Homo-oligomer: A and B are copies of this chain.
Amino acid sequence: MASSVTIVGATGDLGFGLALRLAKAGVPVVIGSRDGDRAAEAAVRVREQVPGADVRGLANPEAAAASDLVVLSVPFASQAATLRSLRASLSAGTVLLDVTVPLATAVGGRPTRVLSVWQGSAAQQAQELVPDGVTVVSALHTVAARHLSDLGHELDEDTFVTGDDRAAKARVAELVGRIPGLRPIDAGRLEMARITEQLTALTIGINVRHKATAGLKVTGLPNGSAWS
């Protein structure tokens, strides 16, 4: 049996879209929510769109303990509290894929601006908050929730993956690469999330300005070299 992926915050737009896409790709998915009932309802909604999907919903601590790859997809304002609540559930060896973006909306500001995080990025803050032995990888900042959650939409974009542990990063790249039309790009160490997280604000601004749902793509890479 393929190992499952837990998505904490899969009742939100981005997390739910990711659950849909992964379920469609045949990945067993565990949906986490603060409220176990809401998580179970989200799982039902995934199965409605992806009949036969291996997906279940659990309260966050149980969900986080159920997989060794856990996606954290919560608003920045909730990131620290959520991670603290999951400390006992994240065992050593777990890979945490953090997709949090420190948008200024967390403090009532604009979604085209970001907050300065003391550690440098939301991902680096996450690394500080997880138990020893848990490795943080950061990705999926420019993939629109709207596109992810519309299974009829053909994705055609890249996502920058950053992290300090090559194996953890490769694991995330493999997962992301299972979603058709989404190409993982190795963008370096976790500290590069200082740049990649800001791309959410940039693309939101472009969306507003161009009435679009933009994504990003890297040109000029040799064929097949997107993952180094």
Residues in chain A within 8 A of chain B (CB atoms): 112-114, 144, 147, 156-157, 160, 185-188, 191-192, 194-196, 198-199, 201-203, 205-206, 209-222, 225-226, 228
B186 touches A209 (CB 8 A): yes
- Decide yes or no: A219 and B156 within 8 Å by CB, A198-B198, A202-B195 being known contacts: yes
Residues of B within 8 A of A192 (CB): 112, 202, 205
Tell which of A156, A191, A192, A211 has the most Cβ of chain B within 10 Å: A192
Complex contacts, A195 vs chain B, CB 8 Å: 114, 195, 198-199, 201-202
Residue of B nearest to A160 (CB): B202
User: Which residue of the partner chain, among B196, B209, B228, contacts A188 with CB atoms under 8 Å?
Assistant: B209
A202 to B201, CA, bound (A): 16
Q: Which of B157, B202, B221 contacts A220 (CB 8 A)?
A: B157
Q: Which of B185, B206, B209, B212 is within 8 Å of A206, CB to CB?
A: B185
Residues of B within 8 A of A113 (CB): 191
> What is the CA–CA distance of A95 and B99 in the complex, to the nearest angstrom?
38
* Count of chain copies: 2
Main secondary structure of the interface of A (DSSP, over half): mixed
Complex CA gap A112/B188 in Å reads 9
Q: A195-B199, A219-B156 are in contact. Are A210 and B225 (CB under 8 A)?
A: yes
Contact A217/B217 with A186-B209, A196-B202, A198-B195 known, Cβ cut-off 8 Å: yes
Contact of A217 among B114, B187, B219 (CB under 8 A): B219
Would A228 and B209 be within 8 Å (CB), given that A192-B112, A195-B198, A196-B202 are in contact? yes
A211 to B222, CA, bound (A): 8
Q: Are B228 and A220 in contact (CB under 8 A)?
A: no
Collect the chain B residues with CB atoms within 8 Å of residue A206's CB: 185-188, 218, 221
CB-based nearest B residue for A202: B195
Task: Please report the C-alpha to C-alpha distance between residue A186 and residue B112 in the assembled complex, in whole angstroms.
Answer: 14
In the complex the two chains form, is A186's CB within 8 Å of B210's CB?
Answer: yes
Contacts of A218 in B (CB 8 A): 203, 206, 214-217
